[in-house]
Every structure is written in structure tokens, then in C-alpha cells.
Amino acid sequence: MSAPIKETTPARPEGAVAKVPVRAGDRRGEGVVLNVFSHGFLALWALLIVLPLLWLVLSAFKSDAQIGGSAFGWPEHWSLGVFSRAWGKGIGDYFLNTVIVLVFSVPLTMLFGSMAAYVLARYRFWGNRLLYYFFVAGAMFPVFLALVPLFFMVKRLDMLNTYQGLILVYVAYSMPFTVFFMHAFFRTLPTAVFEAAVLDGASHTRTFFQVMLPMAKPGLISVGIFNTLGQWNQFILPTVLMQPQSGSDPERYVLTQGLIQLQQQQGYASDLPVLFAGVTIAMIPMLVVYLSFQRQVQAGLTSATLK
């Protein structure tokens, strides 16, 4: 990464730039045409993103007959009842299940991922490199490669259709990326602070939790967002691992799984408004999180790719 250069570029004063000679005539004209042109395309794509989403939210307020009749048209009456109906028809449970799983899986992912990354980044011991590649290599393989034995492994541990089973599996599958990213991050932290802590007599464990981890906060936030979104949106692992095992085993679907389930049910029950209301409910937390942490989300997700 060329960080030092990047930091200095934006700092260049605007005045210095303006001194560069410009052939005013042709450039101006080209600029205006391009400007209209580009705004046209940009606005079009923005509409293509926003309109389907708004349309879906709007459809939640319509009646089933109205949805089937025509794509356009306003709801006859605006009632929020459909949302409580959706909540009662399972969305509430699915939502809760997802939250229960993530409340444990994300912090555990961050904790174990940082612990492994920290030790691998800052301590020299036999097999260090090997272990690091061992962790990172996991990111290269498609998850489908593991699915069949994974199912039977979780079954043998008697953890199919349990929260703890899914939590442990999420943590394990988030390890490669978390270790990879946090490893890079811990390497960049200054050694002086670490040495000072050791000189002051802090134990290794204490140094990690009270000195190094707080310093790694920006990295933890990026990876945390990445893992939260990834685990929240995960579909394949719960599809395999969270099926009721017997008639008496309760459903513990997560939100993504539940929505697809609801889609199949409501298709037959012809109650599409409930499905659309369910999707709206599922979108709201994402929208709120996204709009409030917009910069971090974009940075977190894209930096995951760039490294």
C-alpha cells in the first residue's frame, strides 16, 4: 500500500491546482456535455436501485388482489397491521434467532480471531508462518467443499438446529478473513508501546487486552462490520445446519432462511403483503446501520477485497 503518498495528495492546496493552464474554450464545452450525460446515466441507475425497493415496500400495504392485478397503483388503505401480522407469522422469531446467534458469534469471532492474529503477528515461534498460511488458506476454498462432512460433524456433536452449533460454525468460518486482516493490522502497531507495557511488568495477556486491543480499534471496527454483515446475511450454513431434526424439534430459522421459507408458504397461501412486510422489516435494520455507519461500512467491505 502506498499510504504515505495517499495522505499527502488530498492536502495539496486547491490554489496550486488552479494555476495549471487550461484551454478554456473546448474544455468548457466538453465539460458541460459530459456533465449532462453523466448525470443522466447516474440518475438512471440510482432510480433503478431505489424504485424496486420502494415499490416492494409500497406493495406491503396493498391487498393480495391488488398485487396480482397491476404493478402500479397506490394502496387502498395505509394500515400498519400487515407488519404486525408478518412479525407474528414468523418474522419476529427469525429476527430474534438471528440476533441471538450474532450477539455471540460476532464478539467471539472478533475475540478469537484477534487472539490468533496477535500471537501470529507479534511472537516468534516455530511453525508461525505455517500456521498463518493454514488460517488464510481457508478463505480460498468454496464452503460447498465442506458442507457434507460439516453437517455430520455438527450432528455428531449433537448440535444440529441449535444456536451454539451455528455460533461455533460461524466463528470458525469467519476465522480466515479475521485472522488475515487483524494480522496485517497488528503488524502495523508500534512496538514501543508494547515494550513499555512489558517493562512496566504487564503480563502478555494483560498487554494484549489493555494495550494492544484498544490500539487496534479501527481494524476491529472494519472487521466487525464485515463479519456482522456476512453472518447476518449468511444463508447456506443455516440452510444445512438449522433444520428441525424431528417433529418435536422447534424451528430455529434465521432471518434469511425464514424469508425464503415465508416466500414459499405465502406463495401458496396467497398472502404476499405479509411477505413484503417481512422483507421490509428485514431491510430496516440494514438501512439504519448502513446510513449511520455509511463510511465505515463501505470502507470495511471494500478493504476486505483490496488486501
- Could you tell me how many residues make up the chain? 307
CA 154 to chain centre: 24
Q: Residue 183 and residue 16: Cα distance in Å, rounded?
A: 40
By CB under 8 A, which span of 55-63, 77-85, 182-190, 212-220 interacts with other proteins? 55-63
Min CB(122)–other proteins separation in Å: 10
Min CB(192)–other proteins separation in Å: 19
Min CB(39)–other proteins separation in Å: 6
By CB under 8 A, which span of 79-87, 181-189, 214-222, 231-239 interacts with other proteins? 231-239
Q: Which of 105, 161, 227, 256 binds other proteins (CB under 8 A)?
A: 256
Residue 72's alpha-carbon distances to 55, 66, 81, in angstroms, are: 9, 9, 22
Set of cell numbers at residue 44: 438512471
Spatial neighbors of 186 by CB under 8 A, at least 6 apart, are 114, 117, 118, 121, 122, 212, 216, 219
Concatenated DSSP letters of 151-162: HHHHHHTT-TT-
Min CB(152)–other proteins separation in Å: 8
Tell me if 215 contacts other proteins by CB under 8 A.
no
Min CB(189)–other proteins separation in Å: 16
- DSSP annotation of 251 reads P
Tell me if 253 contacts other proteins by CB under 8 A.
no
Tell me if 288 contacts other proteins by CB under 8 A.
no
Binding mask 91-130 for other proteins (x = CB under 8 A): ---------------------xx-xx-xx---x-x-----
Quick check: 60 and 283 in contact, CB under 8 A?
no
Tell me if 21 contacts other proteins by CB under 8 A.
yes
